[in-house]
C-alpha cells in the first residue's frame, strides 16, 4: 500500500484542514451549522480522501479518491472566497487560507495528471 505521509499533497491538505479549523473558530455563532460546518467538512475531506485512496489496492481507485479530494479542495476555495466577502475572514487570513487551498489544488492536480498518464 502507498504511504500518504510521503505525499506533498497530503502535507498541504493536512495543513489546509488544520488552518481551516483554526480560522473558522471565530466565525459568527449563527454560522456554526452553516458555512463553518461546510468549510470544515470540505477541508477534512481533502486529506481524508488522499489517505483512503492510498489504502486502495488499484491505481484506478487511488486516482478516483484523489479526484474526490481535488473536488473538495475546489469547493473549499469557493467557500473561503465567500467567507472573505461576507467579512468572516479578514484579508490576511483569507490570503493565508486561500494560498494553502490553491497550492493544495495545484499539487493534487499534478499528482492526478501524472498518475493518469501511467494508467
Q: Are 12 and 103 in contact (CB under 8 A)?
A: yes
Q: Is the pLDDT of residue 1 over 90?
A: no
Share of the chain above pLDDT 90, in %: 97
Q: Which three cell numbers stand for residue 13?
A: 491538505
43-96 pLDDT per residue, tens = 999 999 999 999 999 999 999 999 999 999 999 999 999 999 999 999 999 999
Residue closest to 44 by CA, chosen among 87, 111, 113, 104: 104
Overall number of domains in the chain: 1
Please give the residue range of the domain that contains residue 47. 4-117
63: phi then psi, degrees, rounded to nearest 5 = -65, -40
Q: How far apart are CA 94 and CA 83, in angstroms?
A: 8
Q: What is the pTM of this model?
A: 0.96
Q: What is the mean pLDDT of the chain?
A: 97
CATH number for 40: 1.20.1440.60
Give the model's pLDDT for residue 24.
Answer: 98
Model confidence at 11, in pLDDT bands (50, 70, 90)? very high
Rg of the chain taking only CA atoms, in angstroms: 15
Q: Are 80 and 93 in contact (CB under 8 A)?
A: no
- C-alpha angle with apex 66: 83 to 20, nearest 5 degrees? 25
Amino acid at each position: 500500500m502507498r504511504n500518504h505521509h510521503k505525499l506533498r499533497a497530503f502535507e498541504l491538505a493536512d495543513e489546509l484542514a488544520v488552518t481551516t479549523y483554526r480560522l473558522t473558530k471565530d466565525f459568527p455563532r449563527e454560522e456554526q451549522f452553516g458555512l463553518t460546518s461546510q468549510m470544515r467538512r470540505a477541508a477534512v475531506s481533502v486529506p481524508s480522501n488522499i489517505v483512503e485512496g492510498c489504502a486502495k489496492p488499484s491505481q484506478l481507485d487511488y486516482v478516483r479518491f484523489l479526484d474526490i479530494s481535488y473536488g473538495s479542495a475546489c469547493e473549499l476555495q469557493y467557500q473561503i472566497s465567500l467567507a472573505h466577502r461576507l467579512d468572516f475572514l479578514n484579508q490576511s487570513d483569507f490570503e493565508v487560507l486561500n494560498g494553502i487551498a490553491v497550492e493544495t489544488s495545484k499539487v493534487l492536480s499534478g499528482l492526478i495528471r501524472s498518475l493518469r498518464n501511467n494508467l
